[in-house]
Amino acid sequence: MAVTPNLLPVEKALALLREGPLGPAELCRQVLLLQGQSEELSSRLAATMLEPDPRFCRLPDGRWTVTGYEQSFQAAELTRASFVVVDVETTGFAPPADRVIEIGMVKVNGCRIEESYETLIDPQRPIPGPITSLTGISYGMLAGCPTFREICAEAVCPERDRPGHRLPPAEPETLHQGSGAPTAAGARAP
């Protein structure tokens, strides 16, 4: 886009950013007619020019956009994404002593739920009262449920393309410190 020379820099930026997000260096080049400055200087100049104006916002990747476009930009990215959402409930917050008591997975592709998987899991140990209060899951509900070891193949089985098929084979009772996600013994969580 050719920016009209007699517009104020902020108005030039608004005209440019209505066409889509731009990085600080490109904004400085097109709006301020500056070239060759460092990324740090470009970032500072763009922030000084645009941050005070509520019509602009910075995207997580550092580019600038027009307010309102941020949500539609992120939504557009999400509509093309394919991912698995995993929810795990455990017997507590202190791995490796605590164990998984429920796992749920939803495979999403382009904002459509393609597949889901959910099961309660017998942790083979009591569930503390505060965890039952938090999750609504009591030990009595888990009687007769499979152990994590028993469901691991079902949740991970790639030939059936289950939602969690990329979860690593696990020593099921262990949890990665701090993440609450099941991991193989000695394996590093991503």
**Stretch 25-37: mean pLDDT:** 91
Q: What is the pLDDT of residue 29?
A: 92
For 13, the 3-state DSSP assignment is: helix
**Stretch 11-34: mean pLDDT:** 91
Q: Which helix (H) or strand (E) holds 122?
A: none
Q: What is the pLDDT of residue 174?
A: 38
pLDDT tens-digit readout, 169-188: 444 433 333 333 333 333 33
pLDDT tens-digit readout, 100-144: 999 999 988 877 888 888 999 999 999 999 999 999 999 999 999
Question: Residue written as tokens 């005070």?
Answer: 52
Which contacts qualify for 50-56: CB closer than 8 Å, 24 or more apart?
A: 50/10, 50/13, 53/10, 55/14, 56/13, 56/14, 56/17
Q: What is the pLDDT of residue 120?
A: 95
- Domains in the chain, ordered, with CATH? 9-76 (1.10.10), 81-160 (3.30.420.10)
